[in-house]
Amino acid sequence: MARSQTTKKLTRIQRQRTDIILEAALDVFSDFGFRGSTIDMIAKRAKLSKPNILYYFDNKEAIHVTVLAKLLETWLAPLHAINEDNDPIDEICKYIEQKLNMARDFPRESKLFANEILQGAPHVLPELQGALKDLVAQKVKIIEAWSKDGKIAQVDPHHLFFSIWATTQHYADFDIQVRSVLDDNTKDPFDTAGPFLKTMFSTMLTP
């Protein structure tokens, strides 16, 4: 059997099917949440039978956990990229742009992540308290150094990150609300959000 393989080499079909299933699962989970999704929905979307899905994953939760784990990697990538040696405000603006691009290009991932956190992070709490916390702590030090050197204004680094996360992800997670309020579909919210956010954070950070 293929399931619960730990550090075994995968066959061609295993890799293919697993990818198809995870892609379908991302689709379904991000639309209906964990409890609102059924294995049948995922199966239909993946064009596989339900038992076939359960041949590759032990159960529904295992699919969810795997999707989340994959997602977290790419989710944290932009944060990793912040570099102490470059111009502070350029780096922050670059970070904002990357986060906003991710919200635009990967709304399913953003919504799924939001859903997970809203429910109290039942599957990723350890990662939040471990990897994420450590990574943030590291970047917080960079911000503090910039402040101390007078390169940027004095700001609470944690809240700076929270604000960037909140504002960028808002356009993916609350997409329906944003579009309802704007409604004049002449402009893409993302296009106008970029300059707005960069201006806002630049203004605050300029000493």
According to the binding rule CB under 8 A, does residue 138 interact with its own copies?
Answer: no
How many residues bind its own copies (CB under 8 A)? The answer is: 51
Hey, is 65 helix, strand or coil?
Answer: helix
- Pick 14 or 198: Cβ nearer its own copies: 198
Sign of CA dihedral 93, 94, 95, 100: positive
Q: What is the dihedral of CA 135, 115, 40, 6, to 10 degrees?
A: 20
According to the binding rule CB under 7 A, does residue 61 interact with DNA?
Answer: yes
Hey, is 40 helix, strand or coil?
Answer: helix
Biggest distance spanned by C-alpha atoms of the chain = 61
Stretch touching DNA by CB under 7 A, among 34-42, 124-132, 146-154, 197-205? 34-42
- Pick 15 or 159: Cβ nearer its own copies: 159
Structure tokens at 196: 């707005």
The residue from 117, 138, 145, 148 that contacts its own copies (CB under 8 A) is 117
Q: Which does 13 bind (CB under 5 to 8 A by kind): DNA, its own copies, none?
A: DNA
According to the binding rule CB under 7 A, does residue 142 interact with DNA?
Answer: no
Nearest to 144 by CA among 190, 82, 95: 82
According to the binding rule CB under 7 A, does residue 115 interact with DNA?
Answer: no
According to the binding rule CB under 7 A, does residue 64 interact with DNA?
Answer: no
Structure tokens at 57: 């994953």
According to the binding rule CB under 7 A, does residue 6 interact with DNA?
Answer: no
Q: How many CB atoms lie within 10 A of CB 1?
A: 6
Q: Which does 14 bind (CB under 5 to 8 A by kind): DNA, its own copies, none?
A: DNA
According to the binding rule CB under 8 A, does residue 120 interact with its own copies?
Answer: yes
According to the binding rule CB under 8 A, does residue 171 interact with its own copies?
Answer: yes
d(CA 116, CA 30): 10
According to the binding rule CB under 7 A, does residue 52 interact with DNA?
Answer: yes
Hey, is 85 helix, strand or coil?
Answer: coil
According to the binding rule CB under 8 A, does residue 39 interact with its own copies?
Answer: no
* Terminal C-alpha separation, the chain: 61
Site for DNA, rule CB under 7 A: 1-2, 11-14, 17, 37-40, 48-52, 54-56, 58-61
